[in-house]
Amino acid sequence: MFTSLAICILLAVAGLVSSQQVAFDVASIRDSTHPVSVGTFSRAQSNFSTRSLASVTSHNGYLALAHPRFPSHQVRVKKSEFCDPTVNVYTGYLDVDYGAKHLFFYFFESRRDPDTDDVMMWINGGPGCSSSMGLLMELGPCSIDMQNVSSNGTTWNPYSWNAEANIFFLDQPVGVGFSYADYGETIETTEDAARNIHAFLTIFFETFSQFKGRALHLAGESYGGRYLPAFASYVYDQNTVAVAEGRETLNLSSVIIGNGIVDIMMVYLGRYEIECGTAAFDIPFQSINACVRMKTTLPRCQQAMQQNCVDIFEEIGCKAAVDFCQDQVSGVFANSDRNVYDISKPCVGTLCYRETEVIKDYLDQPSVRDLLGVETPKNFSSCDNDVGRAFNKRLDKYAVPSQFYIAGLLERGVPVLIYSGTYDWQCNWYASKLWLEKLEWSGNAVYNTHDFRDWIVDGHKAGEVKSAGPLTFATIRGAGHMVPHDKPAEAQAMISRWLARADF
Ligand SMILES: *[C@@H]1O[C@H](CO)[C@@H](O)[C@H](O)[C@H]1NC(C)=O
Ligand SMILES: *[C@@H]1O[C@H](CO)[C@@H](O)[C@H](O)[C@H]1NC(C)=O
Ligand SMILES: *[C@@H]1O[C@H](CO)[C@@H](O)[C@H](O)[C@H]1NC(C)=O
Ligand SMILES: *[C@@H]1O[C@H](CO)[C@@H](O)[C@H](O)[C@H]1NC(C)=O
Ligand SMILES: *[C@@H]1O[C@H](CO)[C@@H](O)[C@H](O)[C@H]1NC(C)=O
Residue ranges making up the domain that contains 105: 1-504
- pLDDT tens digit sequence for 424-471: 999 999 999 999 999 999 999 999 999 999 999 999 999 999 999 999
Q: Which of 117, 481, 485, 486 is catalytic?
A: 481
**What amino acid is encoded at 409 in this protein?**
L
The pLDDT value given to residue 199: 87
Percent of the chain as helix, strand, coil, to the nearest 5: 40, 20, 40
Please say whether the beta carbons of 89 and 107 come within 8 A. Answer: yes
Quick one: which atom of ligand 5 is closest to the CA of 377?
13
Please say whether the beta carbons of 360 and 382 come within 8 A. Answer: yes
**Closest residue by CA, ligand 4 atom 5:** 215
Quick one: which atom of ligand 5 is closest to the CA of 24?
14
Residue 377 in contact with ligand 5 by CB distance below 6 A: yes
Q: Which of 117, 342, 386, 424 is catalytic?
A: 424
Query: What is the rounded average pLDDT of the residues 137-163?
Result: 97
- pLDDT above 50 for 201: yes
As a residue count, the chain comes to 504
Ligand 1 centroid – CA 67 distance (Å): 14
The pLDDT value given to residue 132: 97
Please confirm, yes or no, whether 481 is among the known catalytic residues. yes
**Closest residue by CA, ligand 5 atom 9:** 379
Q: Determine the angle formed by the axes of helices 267-276 and 429-438, rounding to 10 degrees.
A: 130
pLDDT level of residue 22 (50, 70, 90 thresholds): very low
Residue 21 in contact with ligand 5 by CB distance below 6 A: no
256 bridge partner residues: 219, 417
The pLDDT value given to residue 66: 75
Ligand 5 centroid – CA 384 distance (Å): 15
- pLDDT above 80 for 346: yes
**CATH classification of the domain holding 247:** 3.40.50.1820
For the whole model, what pTM was predicted?
0.89
Pocket-forming residues, ligand 3, beta carbon under 6 Å? 81, 83, 85, 150-152, 154-156
Please say whether the beta carbons of 480 and 486 come within 8 A. Answer: yes
- In the predicted model, what is the mean pLDDT of the chain? 88
Instruction: Report CA-CA distances (Å) from 485 to 10, 135, 138, 182, 207.
Output: 13, 10, 4, 34, 33
CB neighbours of residue 480 within 10 Å: 27
The pLDDT value given to residue 11: 38
d(CA 243, CA 312): 35
Quick one: which atom of ligand 4 is closest to the CA of 249?
13
**Closest residue by CA, ligand 5 atom 6:** 379
Ligand 2 centroid – CA 144 distance (Å): 14
Residue 158 in contact with ligand 5 by CB distance below 6 A: no
d(CA 481, CA 426): 8
Pocket-forming residues, ligand 4, beta carbon under 6 Å? 213, 215, 251, 253
**Closest residue by CA, ligand 4 atom 1:** 215
d(CA 454, CA 460): 9
pLDDT level of residue 51 (50, 70, 90 thresholds): low
Please say whether the beta carbons of 245 and 422 come within 8 A. Answer: no
Share of the chain above pLDDT 70, in %: 90
Backbone angles phi, psi at 42, to 5 degrees: -90, 125
Residue 379 in contact with ligand 5 by CB distance below 6 A: yes
Least confident of 74-83, 123-132, 161-170, 265-274: 74-83
Backbone angles phi, psi at 253, to 5 degrees: -110, -25
Query: What is the rounded average pLDDT of the residues 175-185?
Result: 90
- pLDDT above 70 for 217: yes
The pLDDT value given to residue 50: 53
DSSP class of residue 13 equals -
- pLDDT above 80 for 344: yes
pLDDT level of residue 388 (50, 70, 90 thresholds): very high
**Closest residue by CA, ligand 4 atom 12:** 213
Please confirm, yes or no, whether 323 is among the known catalytic residues. no
The sign one gets for the Cα dihedral 125, 126, 127, 131 is: negative
Residue 28 in contact with ligand 5 by CB distance below 6 A: yes
- pLDDT tens digit sequence for 265-286: 999 999 999 999 999 999 999 9
The pLDDT value given to residue 48: 46
Ranges of beta strands (E only) in 15-144 are 63-66, 74-79, 89-96, 101-108, 118-123, 142-144
Instruction: Report CA-CA distances (Å) from 401 to 167, 349, 406, 439.
Output: 28, 33, 9, 11
Residue 442 in contact with ligand 5 by CB distance below 6 A: no
Least confident of 200-214, 217-231, 328-342, 392-406: 200-214
Residue 346 in contact with ligand 5 by CB distance below 6 A: no
Domains of the chain: total? 1
CB neighbours of residue 367 within 10 Å: 10
**Closest residue by CA, ligand 4 atom 8:** 215
- Comparing CA positions, the residue from 63, 27, 8 lying closest to residue 184 is 27
Please confirm, yes or no, whether 330 is among the known catalytic residues. no
The sign one gets for the Cα dihedral 170, 225, 139, 493 is: negative
Helix (H) or strand (E) holding 253: strand 252-258
The pLDDT value given to residue 4: 33
Instruction: Report CA-CA distances (Å) from 32 to 28, 183, 184.
Output: 9, 7, 9
- Comparing CA positions, the residue from 54, 56, 39, 172 lying closest to residue 104 is 172
Helix (H) or strand (E) holding 225: helix 224-244
Ligand 5 centroid – CA 14 distance (Å): 20
Query: What is the rounded average pLDDT of the residues 102-119?
Result: 96
